[in-house]
Amino acid sequence: MKTIRILGLILSVVTFVTVIGCKHSDPIVKVEKEVVYQDRVTEVIKEVTGTPETIMPLTPVILQRLRDSGEEADISERITKYQFLLFGRINLEREYIEYNDGLLDGGTAKFENVRTRENIIINDQTEGQVISYRATRNETTLHLCFENDNNLQLVFYAEGTSPDEFFYLNYTESYGPGDEKGTLMYGGELYKLKYNDRRPYILIKLSQRDIERIESRTASGRKVVY
């Protein structure tokens, strides 16, 4: 099962890079190194072509491997050190009214309504950081910040039933005019959400390479002595 998941991960990398054309560094040059030890053990290490750095969609199977890669069992703190990016452009809009009432000269009461239209754009490939992480049997949720204020968080989730599920943006669907897809909370305020085409999800910056290790030795034999 583990081999199948790793194979699926490799195929996901190839497919993603091929389809959307993510930028990455030049492939690693194939290197072969042979080490011979005194006990006639020969170790041949072949470094197969790989990508020093690329970006790809975060999935539960990748998150599980990140979880297993550290000495500590809890990934909640360590996951804040990984670099994530947004796939897709997000547009948040809201309107609100502030009242600037008062008293004018001559005893005239003043009612002044200040209508503000707020627009927040988070562009495609904007870098983000995980602030909090929560996993249950049914789903895993990640709270990400794409601004310096930790209160300005977007929530992404993946269902626990599929290891290759993307971490999609979480919001309340309520289709409106144009690209309006629904609403979500951002910094404690309710915004209308707009995006084009595919539902936004998150990417992870990742370095991946494959190493083939071959260990070869000749049995010396074992002579029985009385």
pLDDT at 160 over 80: no
pLDDT for the residue numbered 37 = 52
- Total count of domains within the chain: 1
Range of the domain at 75: 2-217
Are residues 207 and 52 in contact, defined by beta-carbon separation less than 8 angstroms? yes
Average pLDDT over residues 139-156: 96
- pLDDT tens for 55-107 read 999 999 999 888 887 655 577 788 999 999 999 999 999 999 999 888 888 88
Structure tokens at 66: 């990140």
% the chain with pLDDT above 90:
46
Give Cα separations from 145 to 134, 149, 189 (angstroms).
15, 7, 15
Q: How confident is the model at residue 152 (pLDDT cuts 50, 70, 90)?
A: very high
User: What tokens does 187 get?
Assistant: 């910094």
Mean pLDDT calculated for residue range 144-173: 94
Beta strands in 26-152, from DSSP E residues, in sequence order: 31-36, 41-57, 84-87, 90-99, 102-104, 108-110, 113-122, 127-135, 139-145
Span of 71-80, 108-117, 165-174, 214-223 with lowest mean pLDDT? 71-80
Q: Would residue 213 count as lying in a domain? A: yes
Answer yes or no: is 81 within a domain: yes
Top pLDDT among 177 and 41 is at: 177
Q: What is the pLDDT of residue 50?
A: 58
186 φ/ψ sector (left φ>0, alpha ψ -120 to 50, else beta): beta
Note whether residue 226 is domain-resident. Answer: no
Report the candidate in 45, 41, 49, 47 with the shortest Cα–Cα distance to residue 14.
49
> Is 8 within the bounds of a domain?
yes
Mean per-residue pLDDT over the chain, rounded: 81
Residue 29 lies in a domain: yes
Is 134 domain-assigned? yes
Q: Which pLDDT score is estimated for 117?
A: 95
Mean pLDDT value of segment 149-160: 94
pLDDT bucket at 146, cuts 50 / 70 / 90 = very high
- Per-residue confidence band for 224, with pLDDT thresholds at 50, 70 and 90: very high
Residues contacting residue 194 through CB under 8 Å, at least 6 positions apart: 90, 91, 92, 93, 178, 179, 180, 181
pLDDT of residue 14: 41
End-to-end CA separation in angstroms for the chain: 49
Task: Give domain status of residue 223, yes or no.
Answer: no
What Å distances lie between residue 121 and 114, 129, 154, 170, CA to CA? 23, 17, 13, 17
pLDDT tens for residues 13-61? 444 443 444 444 455 445 555 555 555 555 566 655 556 678 999 999 9
- Domain annotation covers residue 222: no
